[in-house]
Amino acid sequence: MIRKKSTLLILYLIATLVALIFLAPFVWIIFTSLKPSKEVFSYPITLFPRSITLEHYEYVIFKMSDFRRYFWNSTIITGVSLAIIAISSSLGGYALGRKNFWGKNWFIAFILLVLAIPYSVYLIPIFIMETRLGIKNSYLALILPYVALNLPWGLFIMMGTFRGVPSEIEDAARIDGCSEYQLWSKIMLPLAKPGLATTIIITFIFIWQEFIYAVTLQTDARWKTLPVGIVHIRDELQSLAYDNLSVAIILSLLPLFIVFVALKDFFIKGIVEGGLKG
């Protein structure tokens, strides 16, 4: 018993140390964003600010129009992509998890094949297709590939989630006279909230922070997303503007934090259901 407690204590200490190592850059960025410009470049370097200021936040939010445009582009692209993926994966996952039809196993195998191939492999074909279609430098230029790349994850997770719903619930709903749409929307979908939350979190993280497709398909500055825009702002300043860049990074991470906190109660449960039962 004592040995078991000692082992758990060591594991907790290791986990805490690893967490601190990963959190250290974020803590540094937060404190840097609150320092006056002179203090950011002062020597010796200090972690905690001697005086706190919000002037960098005011500058980035209200005076840096490029940042607002990049943030808006990311919001539109992520929001539309998330809506399409959430609806499509919940409908497709319901069909794959609860229905039997010809070619179902082949379709599931195709989904797994798509998931096994690295995202970068699709970049050149997508670039060629969008160039020929003339949809580069538009919202569709990123929405279409983001939906195509993330929908397999949503289908796989939602399939496992719907498959885990007891058949007695479905039978009782049919006896009560529920139509197929009512069964999906009123009965199954509320029970599949953990899987749907997991799908939304994974998809949101990928789309919001994605860089390679965004920098390749959006060459016009007006259509750049936030990750590409921050790099563009850094190059445009042509200086070590750690203060303003720290604020831009924090504001870009804030939506990720908000979405995860809002859906965290369903996240672990959804991962387990989608992974083990899928």
Which tens digits make up the pLDDT trace of 56-69? 888 888 888 888 89
* 72, 162: one domain: yes
Structure confidence by residue, pLDDT tens digits, 62-94:
888 888 899 999 999 999 999 999 999 999 888
* 44, 139: one domain: no
CA distances from 18 to 14, 21, 25, 118, 253 (A): 6, 5, 13, 28, 20
* 34, 152: one domain: no
Give the pTM: 0.84
Has residue 45 got a pLDDT over 80? no
Residue type, 110: F
Q: Kindly report the CA angle at 27 between 23 and 28, in degrees rounded to 5?
A: 120
pLDDT at 12: 84
* 97, 11: one domain: no
Nearest to 195 by CA among 226, 157, 165: 157
Domain count across the chain: 2
Instruction: State the residue range of the domain holding 23.
Output: 1-53
Q: 177: which DSSP letter?
A: T
Q: Of 16-30, 38-52, 127-141, where does mean pLDDT reach its minimum? A: 38-52
Helix (H) or strand (E) holding 112: helix 104-116
194 Cβ neighbours under 8 A, 6+ residues apart: 161, 266, 267, 269, 270, 273
Neighbouring CB atoms inside 10 A of 134's CB total: 9
